[in-house]
Amino acid sequence: MAPERDAGTEDKGSEVTQAPTRRFSVNEQVGPFVVTVGFTQDHRGDWTVPFEAFISARGRSGTELDEHLYDVGVKLSRLMQGE
């Protein structure tokens, strides 16, 4: 799949890759949290390229810790996507 520019993001000279609708993911328990890493396919079609990260079971919604862990997932995902 060819990279597409996201019209909602600032152009920083790198291209943003559009995520496929369905993709492989791995879940890992880290203490009380569950970290999910989603993958996209490489040039051979293998699901080997980390693309996004989510942290769930973050505790009570709206707490400072919940917000920080959500932000960590967003920042990791953006780094993986070249933003």
- Structural domain range at position 42: 25-80
Average pLDDT estimate for 50-60: 88
Residue 30 included in any domain = yes
Residue 45 is given by DSSP the state S
> Encoding tokens for residue 37?
């890493």
List pLDDT tens digits, range 1-41.
434 433 444 444 556 566 667 789 999 999 999 999 999 99
The pLDDT assigned to 14 comes to 55
Residue 71 placed within a domain = yes
**Rounded-to-10 torsion of CA 64, 70, 11, 22:** -170
Q: Which residues pair with 40 in a beta bridge?
A: 49
* Side chain identity at residue 9, one-letter code: T
Q: Please state the φ and ψ torsions of residue 75, each to the nearest 5 degrees.
A: -65, -40
Q: How many CB atoms lie within 10 A of CB 17?
A: 18
- Number of folded domains in the chain? 1
Instruction: Flag whether 56 is in a domain.
Output: yes
In a domain, 16, yes or no: no
Q: Does some domain include residue 4?
A: no
